[in-house]
A and B are shown apart, each in its own frame.
Chain A
Amino acid sequence: MADVHELALLSLNTAQQIDLELGGEESDPSVLRSFGDALSKMSGVGLPQTRAFLSYDPATTEIFAQAAGEVATHEISDIEALSEFMTNIVGPLIRDEHRLERDQLKAVKLFSLAFHRALLAHQLVGFEDDGSTMSDEFRTS
């Protein structure tokens, strides 16, 4: 996985640029492109000859599933549905010379903020479960 905080920040910057765009302010489209590229690299969505999420770390799949599950209007229960959802997010972002519609921008923004939360939550689990505390959800006594 790429630097988590870097990716998390890119998610926020994407939401920021979309806010500016939707508010009629000047925005930087390269941020959205970078976000699309990063998502594509991390999930396999949009890459040639890749079956998205297959052969990937299950923890990565879990982060995407968590974020997608939070914003999708339908149930996402398998990789196929998750890939389809992510294609709808990533596709327009990485398509050359493509200007996103307002609805697309809103969808990307919702996902980017959910993705940011999922990434940070995942990152903190990594810190909390250090050997010093040995805390974990499985311990019962």
Chain B
Amino acid sequence: MSSAPLEKEFCIQKLNAVLALINKLLESEFPHPDTKAALDTLQTVFSTELNRLTSLSDKLSLDTTLGYCLDANVRIVKLQLFLGMLIRSSNLRNAFEMFFPIKILARQMLTPDHAKLILSSEWHFSPFTYPVSPEELPGFIFIGFPASESQNALLIPLAAHELGHVIWRRKGRGVKADFDPAIRDCILDLYRNNWTRIKTDCFDGREIDKSKLETDLFTIGTWGQSATLAQRQLEEIFCDFIGVFIFGPSFLHAFRYLVAPSLGKSRSVKYPSLRARAKYMKFAAEHYGIPTSDNFVDGFQEQLTRLPKRSTAIVEMADSATEQLYPKLIELVDKHHGEAKPYTTYMTEVKNTRVSLENLIPAANTDSIAVIVNAGWEIRLALEKWDLSLREKDKQKIEVEKMRILNDLLLKSFEVYEFRKRLKRHAT
């Protein structure tokens, strides 16, 4: 047994620093109560951690005390990311008009308990931030748009992808728990059917009996990596399918706008290749009877990842499992979309809404955010045909001005949507 080590003293100091930061943040003003609720929760989490550490008996062994210090460090490391998002969620850079429609969508897809929303702007150019909400913040959904695009109303469909992650991973009723056994079985079949190659590429010629595939820890470690990658890839496709299901063509346009042809990095093996992903989205769109452009898939080009032989085999097995299993995700979307209605329910309203927006009147007669944003995309994709009789003669400047006006109209339409929803709620 030992007296308290310096590490414990340092961890207590670090926890106090985090708590001081949270207290400072809590003095700020927040546009939505969810951010404050998250900070309150984190304050409790870190206070509990601090109390735990300060009340530890000095009679504990050094390794046990260091275990508690590690625990505190991990909480700080993990939750610091989310503190950053909470700070940025209150920045005026965000389009606060987008908050309510996304929150409504979250309530429709999940239970109200699961629908506390943090919407922020981020300093990396990726629409896909923090798919994993920490267990310390149950029910909170973190969505971040790239800072330069955080005012872009046409990107609201991408929020559905993020909500898809919550559906996939939610405890008890999540898609992951349902689907993981199928992924595991598929990967095992692929390893058995490609055993000669696997032995050479993955096991360095080591003699391993095929019958020990599920019991030898080294082989489990190998196919386990393929299974994990396939799980991640299929999760991404599921989230894309949710986006297509709810937002129809506007999801495809938003994804293409933000990502195509690629963002320059080589492919992450935790995602399907961009072209494969586009192919899967097109498949879902066709399944739902949503029109897509013929060249949608061709717009994506990505640097392939160069890998050592063993990793190549592991990734190829994951890719093959994904290719085999992705059609089954349609059934899972049908089963898990909650109260959110498919885009096709409202498809016929888009034309009228587009006409309204073209006449500079915010949409006021629809119950669907998907209708508003699809009408917006129709105008955006035929911008030159939108006659606004502007005095400006420079074609470039006219386009910029039209897009600004379109964005303002969409944001205003979101406000009208919010107003209508709130009125309806109070009327019942």
Q: Among the listed B70, B131, B266, B311, which residue makes an inter-chain contact with A131, where contact means beta carbons less than 8 Å apart?
A: B131
CB 8 Å contact bits of B50-94 with A (1 = contact, 0 = none) = 000000110111011001101100110110010000000000000
Instruction: State whether A55 touches B181 (Cβ < 8 A).
Output: yes
Interface residues of B (CB under 8 A from A): 1, 56-57, 59-61, 63-64, 67-68, 70-71, 74-75, 77-78, 81, 122, 124, 126, 128-132, 134-136, 144, 180-181, 184, 212, 214-218, 220-221, 223-224, 227-228, 232, 236, 265-266, 268-271, 303, 305-307, 311, 315
Q: Among the listed B64, B131, B184, B315, which residue makes an inter-chain contact with A130, where contact means beta carbons less than 8 Å apart?
A: B131
Q: How far is the CB of A2 from chain B (nearest CB, A)?
A: 9
Q: Among the listed B68, B132, B136, which residue makes an inter-chain contact with A126, where contact means beta carbons less than 8 Å apart?
A: B132
Q: A5-B136, A80-B215, A82-B217 are in contact. Are A62 and B224 (CB under 8 A)?
A: yes
Residues of the B chain whose Cβ atoms lie less than 8 Å from the Cβ of A120: 70-71, 74
Q: Which of A34-92 contact B (CB under 8 A)?
A: 54-55, 57-59, 61-62, 65, 76-80, 82
Q: How far is the CB of A64 from chain B (nearest CB, A)?
A: 10
Instruction: State whether A117 touches B217 (Cβ < 8 A).
Output: no
Q: Which of A54, A58, A136 has the most CB of B within 10 A?
A: A58
Residues of the B chain whose Cβ atoms lie less than 8 Å from the Cβ of A134: 126, 265, 268, 270-271
In the complex formed, the residue of B with least CB distance to A109 is: B64
CB 8 Å contact bits of A1-42 with B (1 = contact, 0 = none) = 001111011011001100110010100000000000000000
Residues of the B chain whose Cβ atoms lie less than 8 Å from the Cβ of A15: 61, 63-64, 67
Q: How far is the CB of A125 from chain B (nearest CB, A)?
A: 10
Q: How far is the CB of A55 from chain B (nearest CB, A)?
A: 7
**Cα distance, A61 to B131, chains bound together (Å):** 24
10 contacts across the A-B interface (CB closer than 8 A): A12-B71, A15-B63, A23-B1, A57-B180, A57-B184, A79-B216, A82-B217, A130-B128, A131-B128, A141-B306
Further pairs besides A23-B1, A126-B132, A134-B268: 10, Cβ < 8 Å: A19-B60, A54-B215, A57-B227, A77-B218, A120-B74, A123-B78, A132-B124, A134-B270, A136-B270, A141-B305
